[in-house]
A and B are shown apart, each in its own frame.
Chain A
Amino acid sequence: MDLNNRLKELNNLPEDQAVKARIYEHIHHKKRHGLPLWQESVLLLTIAMITLFLILIPQNSPPQTADQSIQAIYKHFGGKEGKFLARSSSLYISIKKVEDTIVYSFFEDLTQYVEKADGKLGSYIADVVVVKGHREERYQISDTGMLNVDTGQFFVGNSDMYDKVFQTLYSVETIPWIFILPLIVIAVNICSTYYYKRLNLQGSKPSKHVWWVLVFGLVIISSVFAWAIWVGPLYKPLMITFALLYGFIFWNFIIRDVQTYSIYKVETIKISIISAILILIIMLY
């Protein structure tokens, strides 16, 4: 028999009346309920609780010992008087671990390079956390002098060593990676548009409410970044969680409107690239 006819014959699969009746019955008895939405809310709440827990953990004081050597020094560029932003972990955004040996020597014995005096911090301030003997000492160092935030003691720095240390701590090492993100987004969209055109595919058009959800998600992410930049350092794992969550929500909404497998694949790759870049940027900050 001709292959076409043999294929046509497969269209005569007998109708299973039992299955048909069972499905019909089930549809009529199925009640609408918002369980998936409820489940998603519980998941989001769980994630929020875990991240809160993660935020609180690094703030616990480490055990005290008699060892007075400096374990680590962390800095936060661009502080303000009366507002201390540095943290004793490089897992926070814009917090850098200092590796310079001169800075370590300086903080080993401050008295050699600074003098106790009354004064005021200058215009250029960097926040510093010195982990010494497993205890944290917090300083704000400026062009005119430095302040021990914990004791309120002010020091005037008038030695060359002080100037060198200040220059090292006040230097900007962070490249504004975040500006790469819009370029990546534009690039992947251009590539996907070109690909759709080449294959003559019609791109997906998510419904209005989906766009509102996506915009809302974007506002949340932007707010988190804005907080990290202007208010205070945020814990990187928390931000990575947000980035992953946003990628997941974005992907989950987009795929519901996608009609073809090729578009699904392209959209998934796009979202994966953007999420990965976002995570990389968070890690680099």
Chain B
Amino acid sequence: MEFEELYEQYFQCIYQFIYYMVSDPVLAEDLTQETFIRVYKGQFRNEAAMGTYIRRIARNLVYDTYRKKALIKWLPFQREHEKRETKYVPHDWIVQSEERRLLYEAIQLLKPEYREVLIYRKIEELNLAETSEILGLSTVKIANTQRNAMKALEKILGGDEYGFKQSTEGTQ
């Protein structure tokens, strides 16, 4: 498949995934660009489906960012997007609806492992096998993480400790 086709097909899902994981449009843009640069440089080894391969790159870049920010700020050779501080900037489309904004902000409060499983399984609606291949985890582990993530999300949406007043009645 040509790069142009790949870019056309996967740009949106990759950008969306990264954006939901980092909540910063500038950083999301940089990481999306880095993802496609790596795809462009062509290290695809046919070990997985192209979609899985691109998603893995994006995911690794997101975790690289988390890791480098949290643990190894002092390390040399940081790329521009790695040096930048992340700031929370909700997308216009998200703030247009109060319900959507509350849900989005609740997702941001989840730990990354939960957040990514919810993005893949509940937002993008990938099946267990695809998610398992991207994350390198067993389907049982993914199912357990998904269940725990949903519980945590419901708790955040229903509790007052985070300032959310949204009722969870409709989510049961």
Task: Find the A residue at minimum CB distance from B166.
Answer: A6
| Minimum distance in angstroms from A218 CB to a CB of chain B | 22
Give 1 or 0 for each of B114-132: 1 = CB within 8 Å of chain A CB: 0000100011110000000
Binary contact track A1-12/B, C-beta < 8 Å → 1, others 0? 111101111110
Which of B20, B77, B124 contacts A40 (CB under 8 A)? B77
The listed residue (A3, A14, A200) touching B153 by CB distance below 8 A is A3
- Cα–Cα, bound, A10→B60 (Å): 22
Cβ contact within 8 Å between A27 and B33: yes
A15 CB within 8 Å of chain B: yes
From A64-72, A171-179, A232-240, A260-268, the one touching the partner chain is: A260-268
Using a Cβ cutoff of 8 Å, how many contacts connect chains A and B?
Answer: 94
Q: Which of A14, A26, A40, A261 contacts B112 (CB 8 A)?
A: A261
> Is A24 part of the contact surface with B, judged by Cβ < 8 Å?
yes
The residue on A at minimum CB distance from B135 is: A260
What is the interface size of chain B, counting residues whose CB is below 8 A from a CB of the partner? 49
A199 to B15, CA, bound (A): 30
Beta-carbon contacts under 8 Å, B147-163 to A: 150, 153-154, 157
Tell me whether B81 is interfacial, beta carbon within 8 Å. no
Bound together, the chains give a CA A4 to CA B122 distance in angstroms of 7
The answer to whether B15 touches A6 (Cβ under 8 A) is: no
Per the bound structure, the CA–CA distance linking A261 and B70 in Å amounts to 14
Interface of B is mostly: helix
Cβ–Cβ contact B122 & A15, under 8 A = no
Q: List, in ascending order, chain B residues with CB within 8 A of A200's CB.
A: 137-138, 140-141
Q: Say whether, besides A8-B123, A27-B40, A15 and B138 are in contact (CB < 8 Å).
A: no
Of residues 1 through 39 on chain A, the ones whose CB sits less than 8 Å from some CB of chain B are: 1-4, 6-11, 13-16, 19-20, 22-24, 26-27, 30, 32, 36, 39
Q: Do A13 and B136 touch (CB < 8 A)?
A: no
B9 is an interface residue with CB less than 8 A from chain A: no
A11-B125, A200-B140 known; A2+B170 contact, CB < 8 A: yes
Question: A243-272, CB under 8 A of B: which get 1 and which 0?
Answer: 000000000000000011101100000000
Q: Does B165 contact A (CB under 8 A)?
A: no
Cα(A13)–Cα(B16), bound, Å? 7
Q: Give the distance in Å from the alpha carbon of A263 to the alpha carbon of B60 in the complex.
A: 12
A43 at interface by CB-CB < 8 Å: yes
| A202 located at the interface, meaning its Cβ lies under 8 Å from any Cβ of chain B in the complex | yes
Pair B15/A19 contact, Cβ less than 8 Å: yes
Chain B residues with CB under 8 Å of A39's CB are 76-77
Q: Beyond A19-B29, A23-B32, A27-B33, is A7–B118 a contact (Cβ under 8 Å)?
A: yes
Q: Is the CB of B91 within 8 A of A13?
A: yes
Whether A13 touches B122, Cβ cut-off 8 Å, given contacts A30-B37, A43-B76, is: no
Q: In the complex, which residue of chain A has the Cβ closest to the Cβ of B56?
A: A259
Minimum Cβ distance to chain A for residue B63 (Å) = 6
Chain B residue numbers with a CB within 8 Å of A13 are 12, 16, 19, 91, 93-94
**Cross-interface CB contact of A3 among B41, B91, B135, B154, cutoff 8 Å:** B154
For B16, list chain A residues within 8 Å (CB).
11, 13
Least CB separation from B11: chain A residue: A20
* Pairwise interchain contact B103-A6, C-beta atoms closer than 8 A: yes
Q: Which residues of B contact A11 (CB under 8 A)?
A: 16, 123-125
Interface residues of A (CB under 8 A from B): 1-4, 6-11, 13-16, 19-20, 22-24, 26-27, 30, 32, 36, 39-40, 43, 199-202, 259-261, 263-264
Report the 3 A-B pairs with minimum CB-CB distance, sorted nearest first. A3-B171, A259-B136, A7-B122
* Inter-chain pairs besides A26-B33, A27-B40, 7 sampled, C-beta below 8 Å: A4-B122, A6-B99, A6-B171, A7-B122, A11-B125, A19-B15, A200-B137
